[in-house]
Structure 1
Amino acid sequence: MKVAIVGGNGFLGSAITKAAVGRGWEVSSISQSGRPFRTPSGHTPKWTDEVKWTSANVFDQNTYADVIKQSDAVVHTIGILLESDYKNGPLDALKGLIAGRENPNPLTGGLYERLNRDAAIRVADVYKNTRTTQEDNPFVYISAADIFRPLIPSRYISTKREAEEYLKRLDGIRDISLRPGLMYHPHTRPISTIPATMIDILNKLPKPFINGLDADSNLQSVQNLLHTSALHIDTVGAAALEAILDKSQSGDVNVDDIKRLAWKS
């Protein structure tokens, strides 16, 4: 199996890349820097030697189309939660998520649209146009569960859903949209364990389930949070690879089904 992982040196992407290498797959990572993954301490793990690291601009297909063409499957992990996540790093993003925002404004310059939606659409189009067979062409998109409103702008989730809908309509590929909630790893991103622990506690508390809420309401998003467990990035990574192998798997994949897929591995 040859797989291209867009954002393969990132937080989740590196977990997927490592897992694919562990299965003996031929793995290519596409990212802006093209640099191999490094741990927070600056260490480059041994498994990175088995990956083809490519520097590319997802909005310029000439920089990565050859990699996509040679791949049997694609996993797209690029996305943004908060503007600070893009400009300053995950620590600032998490601070903003915990503290909340006064009148959270849409990202200047349409970064939600560009990074959460348009990047996936562009890569999926390249993948489709480089296919030579209709047999099975899995494209895994890392979407998200709707659990963060009103702490972050609604456009975070709406742009994810717009990307999902586009992929569903795209002929010639088997679309798979994983919808994890909050993801964590105690070593590569230690601070992520704080909200993950809080969510785990909330999930264990008795709580009512309110039917009939508007799907677009903030209250529905909060209710989703109370019923959605946090996931270790290795769990999501394993699920992404199992979804590629399972030809019956397509469309939206919620947290429970992510766990089910991961357990198969």
Structure 2
Amino acid sequence: MTSFLAFSTIPTLGFSSSSSSFSRASFPSRLNSLSLNHRSKLCKSVVKCNYAEVGVKDGFKSTTIDVVADVKTERVVVLGGSGFVGSAICKAAVSKGIEVTSLSRSGRPSYPGSWIDQVTWIQGDVFYTNWDEVLFGATAVVSTIGGFGSEEQMQRINGEANIVAVNAAKEFGIPKFILISVHDYNLPSFVLSSGYFTGKRKAESEVLSKYPNSGVVLRPALIYGRRRVDGFEIPLDLIGEPAERILRAIENFTKPLSSLPASDLLLAPPVSVDDLALAAVNAVTDDDCFGVFTIEQIKEAAAKVKV
């Protein structure tokens, strides 16, 4: 758990839209910038009080006891928490008693769900957000930021945005950073040199460099589940789940084919969004969890917290 000692030494972050440079401010100004919700959570720490039983003589020393308030042991910040993968991670974390804050451009989801009310939703962009409010008190950051578009857009979304987030978390002293990346496909080099893959790999390098002993990179292949798009639910699990079962059942026969170019597009087992979310939760809670996780290792990590 992040320590609240030496408040005056805790750094504050802020990004300018042009230089992405950091600025610092004193703790009182930081505390005032926090939402009432965050300040109230901060105040719920260890409270010391004295008591003496009725009838005890004046000379008797009162006893000091520690009253521990209801504080959750983990607070995770999910970047892109209202998206397909991000919302699954928020939901899984809440179910495990983890305090969750989401930062995304769309903010709070419009669809119903009991878990949604247990998440602190912040609408914003990683390039311009107030990191003081987002990261204060966090024990881990999970980034699901990524997307497709032009070369420039993919470099910015998959690479630069995640790199900004990693450096913000590191400067703020967040102990862990978990990145949702992409499977290491055996595709032709001209495909892997696209902004999507090069952006993801640059982000991975930043995570593993800044967090060599606590950074986690999860590399799923196709992610399936029930995905919401413009108010409609697309049941990707109807295809992904049976495909995963079939490919795992015949993997001993398909391994010799793995050396063929682009064979991963057909042979890499899809990953359930729920398993990916649980693997992320495992990365948050397990201090011995760090490094790059393959498809199979994601499945194993999910099994550890699925019970």
Q: Tell me, yes or no, whether TM beats 0.5.
A: yes
Provide TM-score, normalisation by structure 1.
0.75
Q: Check 1:182–1:262 CA distance in 2 against 1; reply closer, same or farther (3 A cut).
A: same
Question: Displacement of 1:203 after TM fit?
Answer: 5.1
RMSD between aligned residues: 2.5
SS at match of 1:189: strand
Which shows bigger deviation, 173-182 or 195-204? 195-204
Q: Check 1:241–1:202 CA distance in 2 against 1; reply closer, same or farther (3 A cut).
A: closer
Structure 2 matches for 1:99-114, cutoff 5 A?
A: 107-108=150-151, 110-114=152-156
Which one has a bigger Cα radius of gyration?
Answer: 2
Question: Displacement of 1:189 after TM fit?
Answer: 3.2
Q: Does 1:79 align with 2:177?
A: no
Question: Displacement of 1:227 after TM fit?
Answer: 4.3
- How many residue pairs match? The answer is 222
Q: Where does the alignment leave 5 or more consecutive residues of structure 1 unmatched?
A: 84-106, 214-218
1:164-197 deviation line (CA, Å, top 9, x unaligned): 1121111587210000111111465314643564
Distance 1:9 1:74 in 2: 15
Distance 2:237 2:154 in 1: 22
Question: Displacement of 1:146 after TM fit?
Answer: 2.8
Structure 2 contact 155–198 (Cα < 8 Å) conserved: no
Q: Does 1:246 align with 2:286?
A: yes
Q: Does 1:230 align with 2:230?
A: no
Q: Does 1:2 align with 2:42?
A: no
Question: Displacement of 1:162 after TM fit?
Answer: 1.5
Q: Where does the alignment leave 5 or more consecutive residues of structure 2 unmatched?
A: 1-73, 228-232
Q: Check 1:111–1:199 CA distance in 2 against 1; reply closer, same or farther (3 A cut).
A: farther
| Structure with higher RCO (Cα < 8 A, 6+ apart) | 1
Q: Check 1:148–1:114 CA distance in 2 against 1; reply closer, same or farther (3 A cut).
A: farther
1:223-263 deviation line (CA, Å, top 9, x unaligned): 33454211111100001011111212111111111111111
Residue in 2 that maps onto 1:50: 118
Distance 1:248 1:157 in 2: 28
**Which amino acid counterpart does residue 140 of structure 1 have in structure 2?**
I
Q: Does 1:263 align with 2:303?
A: yes
Provide TM-score, normalisation by structure 2.
0.65
Q: 1:22 aligns with which of 95, 106, 111?
A: 95
1:28-50 deviation line (CA, Å, top 9, x unaligned): 000012123x4xxxx31111011
Distance 2:87 2:220 in 1: 16
Residue in 2 that maps onto 1:100: none
SS at match of 1:209: helix
Residue in 2 that maps onto 1:66: 133
Which shows bigger deviation, 8-17 or 123-132? 123-132
Distance 2:299 2:240 in 1: 19
Distance 2:186 2:132 in 1: 34
Q: Does 1:139 align with 2:156?
A: no
Percentage of identical aligned residues = 33
SS at match of 2:87: helix
Distance 1:58 1:26 in 2: 20
